[in-house]
């Protein structure tokens, strides 16, 4: 399963589209997956927690999954670097085998799947399926695209890495020796700030059950943290183009 260059270049908008399609399912189903599931299960039964507490606990689990997603992506970005993570062009000129990449080949894409799992509880029943299945399928296509490039450019070095490090299910212990790279945490925290904003929004929603608060935090995080990063990335690409211009 291999995605196209077009999919990779516009992966942010494909992911936005997956979320839009998933939460757009509320048009057909007015209740979220948690409410629907509890109703199907006949909850609350005698001797169980009050329904409001049970609902909040489920949303807390969702928020913890979002936190795990944010941490996985931040850890990976500390070694891969934000400019590479956000670049619209796939990079295969070097193989990163430090930090989380010693345990799992695709920690950032694993973070995307954890994010979908954490937020699916807020979607409708059908929307939850669309979100998790859509994200998983798209991630696998992106992985196929990147791995094909790495195989082409890294050859046997990457084949050896493929044999030892699992694709998406992390190993308990490091599967390859460290390459000696140093983590750059400042740019990683800044680059993945929107993910942490989603976690804050998820935690706030679990506590208040106020959907508007979640929207304010998440979309505010998108505007404050992601948009400037995209602008800087485009400026860097323009500078790179000028630097290769024979007239310079």
pLDDT of 226 higher than 50: yes
Q: Which residue has the higher pLDDT, 220 or 39?
A: 39
Share of the chain above pLDDT 70, in %: 82
Q: Which tokens hold the place of 36?
A: 């629907």
> Which is nearest to 197 in space by CA: 52, 34, 73, 53?
73
Could you give the CA distance from residue 209 to residue 159 in angstroms, rounded to a whole number?
47
**pLDDT at residue 215, as a whole number:** 75
* CB-CB contact of 164 with 152 (8 Å): no
Mean pLDDT of the chain: 84
């Amino acid at each position: 399963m291999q995605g196209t260059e077009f999919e990779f270049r516009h992966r942010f908008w494909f992911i936005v589209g997956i979320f839009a399609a998933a939460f757009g399912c509320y048009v057909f189903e007015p209740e979220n997956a948690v409410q629907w599931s509890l109703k199907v299960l006949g909850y609350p039964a005698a001797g169980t927690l009050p329904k409001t507490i049970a609902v909040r606990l489920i949303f807390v689990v969702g928020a913890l999954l979002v936190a795990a997603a944010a941490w996985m992506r931040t850890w990976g970005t500390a070694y891969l670097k934000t400019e590479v993570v956000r670049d619209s062009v796939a990079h295969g000129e070097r193989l990163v085998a430090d930090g989380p990449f010693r345990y799992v080949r695709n920690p950032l894409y694993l973070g995307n799947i954890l994010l979908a799992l954490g937020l699916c509880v807020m979607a409708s029943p059908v929307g939850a399926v669309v979100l998790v299945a859509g994200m998983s399928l798209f991630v696998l296509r992106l992985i196929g695209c990147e791995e094909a490039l790495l195989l082409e450019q890294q050859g046997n070095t990457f084949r050896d890495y493929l044999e030892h490090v699992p694709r998406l299910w992390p190993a308990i212990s490091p599967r390859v020796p460290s390459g000696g790279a140093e983590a750059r945490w400042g740019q990683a925290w800044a680059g993945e700030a929107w993910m942490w904003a989603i976690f804050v929004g998820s935690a706030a929603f679990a506590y208040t059950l106020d959907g508007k608060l979640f929207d304010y935090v998440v979309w505010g995080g998108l505007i404050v943290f992601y948009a400037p990063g995209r602008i800087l990335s485009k400026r860097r690409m323009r500078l790179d183009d000028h630097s290769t211009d024979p007239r310079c």
